[in-house]
Chain A
Amino acid sequence: MYANPNSIINPSLWPNGPAPGCFFKFPGTNVTSTSSNSGIITRTQSPVTTGTSILGLVFDGGVMLAGDMLGSYGSMAKFRSIERIVKVNNATVLGATGDIADFQHLKAIIEQKVIDEDCADDGFTLKPKALHTWLTRVLYNRRSKFDPLWNTFLVAGIEDGEPYLGCVDKIGTAFSDSKIATGYGAHIALPLMREALEKKPQMTKEEARALLISCLRVLFYRDCRALNKHQIATITKEGVTIENNIELDTNWEVANFVIGYE
């Protein structure tokens, strides 16, 4: 049954095409076999629909996450209402950069976890640091099998009364900080966030929101895969609020100064 597709007994349907009874090697996928004599294909190692940066900031009394609502299909702005920041429970929020399919897969698993917890009804709820640690283990294990989930996650929440912000990337590098940005945000927005936090380490909620919006604006100017429609999530002791569909005001007056290229 697992004969050579080019053999006469099991001819392939078209040249280099699928053969009945055999695994078909899709062009463009990387075949990594876990054992030497299996041609089993693991999932693709290149992302398809992706989300760009997510920004996270700790302020006085809570954490704020911001990100745009775009799912890019390569260079096409295909899905313009993707929620990349989701509420996990009343104390935790998860944001994701990278492959949307992998994010949705993990989101479903996490939602099931929350439901199971509800059913257990023992008074314990998933804490942000616990979710962060669990995500780290999952991502590292997948990477160790050469089949990564192509995402960078930001976990934000209130852990034992204190604001918590943590990040894990697709190879399992995990850390927590008071300001984190993933994707292009790390190069463009993080310098702005670091400068502002150095001047005032304990920001108010309004200042944090203004800073994140100005960072999102710069990202919209300078990141090709960004959109001017955003989500902002605020987590405080009172709970979680996620505002969707926030439009940015942008200033294109600079265009008046550009004539020619010399």
Chain B
Amino acid sequence: MASTKVVNIPKGGFSFENCQRNNFMANQGFPAPKAVKTGTTIAGFIFKDGVILGADTRATEGNIVADKNCFKLHYMAPNIYCAGAGTAADLEMTTLQMSSQLELHRLNTGRQVKVATATRLLKQMLFRYQGHIGAALVLGGIDSTGPHVCCIYPHGSTDSLPFVAMGSGSLAAMAFLEAGWKPDMELADAKVLMRNAICGGIFNDLMSGSHVDLCVITREKAEMIRPFEVANVKGERQGSYRYPRGCTATLSTRVIPIEIESTVVRPVAEESMDTA
């Protein structure tokens, strides 16, 4: 009897078939590995000419700094950028996937992608995974309807607000934003406010640190400023322990040159490949 191969079309949605196995393994003493998180301070707000996004640059693995200068501002579309907090792998893959989906959408419709489209795609995906994808995002961009900033939570809820902050340093960043945000801020003031908000997270939250990256999105262009401010500089060594020449007195000098007795040149022929 001929065996026919049946194409197995996978059902949509999250596949829960490994949950029983994972439970069994956890009971046997092999719990699931913990995801690597980025402790982060990210923020975004609307100013007069567009949207400004900011992030710190520290990636942590438990209590160790895994990357001193990682990049948390991800490209989504020419007019949309996204700052991400949460599990580093989840953020990277989610934003890459979404960026390609948005490009396909742009080619399909022939129009500039709207921020609401990116928000809708992201929240639909994140909700489908019921929060297991640890991606908390601050999406910012400018489209035909104006500038928008939206925060997207790992479980799939979204909040479109004039100013947002996410991550472990969000309380400190939000304090600065609440105290300093006004509608229709100028670019220079907006950069200073964003710098203050991210630095608030860098200096007051242990899981955020290093430098401040900024992304300014206006109608004309999206400008990535990395780093905007090098907030933490490695300390300079104050003294040198090298002994300068002449410290130790020379009693006597004897130079013994190496004399070349003979020179032999032997060419090495190219060996043919052994095809035995």
Question: Residues of A at under 8 Å CB distance from B?
Answer: 184, 187-192, 194-195, 214-215, 217-218, 221-222, 253-254, 257-262
Contacts and interface: CB of A to CB of B under 8 A. Distances in A.
Nearest to A223: B171
A191 B203 contact: yes
B59 interface: no
A141 to B, nearest CB: 30
Nearest to B161: A258
B50 to A, nearest CB: 15
A260 B159 CA distance: 8
Contacts of B171: 184, 187-188, 222
B143 to A, nearest CB: 12
A218 B162 CA distance: 16
Contact of A222 (B120, B157, B175): B175
B42 interface: no
A188 B150 contact: no
A260 B150 CA distance: 11
A43 to B, nearest CB: 32
A214 B179 contact: yes
Contacts of A190: 204
Interface string B213-225: 0000000000000
A222 B150 contact: no
Contact of B172 (A188, A217, A258, A261): A188
B interface: dominant SS: helix
A257 B161 contact: yes
Residue from A187, A191, A215, A253 with most neighbouring chain B CB atoms (10 Å): A191
Contact of B183 (A257, A258, A261): A257
Contacts of B204: 187, 190-191, 194
Contacts of B175: 188-189, 191-192, 215, 218, 222
B176 interface: yes
Interface in B16-69: 46
B180 to A, nearest CB: 10
A214 B175 CA distance: 10
Given A217-B179, A257-B161, A262-B119, 11 more contacts: A187-B171, A187-B204, A191-B172, A191-B200, A192-B200, A194-B203, A195-B196, A218-B175, A218-B179, A258-B162, A261-B157
Contacts of A217: 178-179
A192 B176 contact: yes
A262 B150 CA distance: 7
Contacts of B160: 258-262
A191 B169 CA distance: 10
B194 interface: no
B178 A187 contact: no
A184 B176 CA distance: 15
B158 interface: yes
B88 interface: no
Contacts of A188: 171-172, 174-175
B172 A187 contact: yes
Interface string B189-233: 000000010011101100000000000000000000000000000
